[in-house]
Amino acid sequence: MIIRPVRAGEEAAWLEMRVRLWPDSTREQLAREQSDLLAGAATNAVLVAVDEAGRLAGLAEVSLREWAEGCESHPVGYLEGWWVEADQRRKGLGARLVRAAEDWARSQGCTEMASDAALGNSVSHAAHAALGYAEVGRAVLFRRDLEG
Ligand SMILES: CC(C)(COP(=O)(O)OP(=O)(O)OC[C@H]1O[C@@H](n2cnc3c(N)ncnc32)[C@H](O)[C@@H]1OP(=O)(O)O)[C@@H](O)C(=O)NCCC(=O)NCCS
Q: How far is residue 24 from each of residues 13, 86, 121, 139, measured CA to CA in Å?
A: 18, 19, 15, 19
Percent of the chain whose predicted confidence (pLDDT) is above 70: 100
Find the DSSP H helices in 10-114.
11-21, 27-39, 93-107
Q: Is the CB of 40 under 6 A from ligand 1?
A: no
Mean model confidence pLDDT for the chain:
97
Atom of ligand 1 lying closest to residue 127 CA: 16
Which pLDDT score is estimated for 6? 97
For range 48-58, the mean pLDDT = 97
Q: Is the CB of 123 under 6 A from ligand 1?
A: yes
Class of domain 2-130: alpha beta
At 4, the pLDDT band (50, 70, 90 cuts) reads very high
What are the domain boundaries of the chain? 2-130
Q: Is the CB of 125 under 6 A from ligand 1?
A: no
At 40, the pLDDT band (50, 70, 90 cuts) reads confident
pTM score: 0.97
d(CA 98, CA 131): 8
Which pLDDT score is estimated for 148? 76
Q: How far is residue 85 from each of residues 15, 19, 26, 55, 145, measured CA to CA in Å?
A: 13, 12, 20, 11, 35
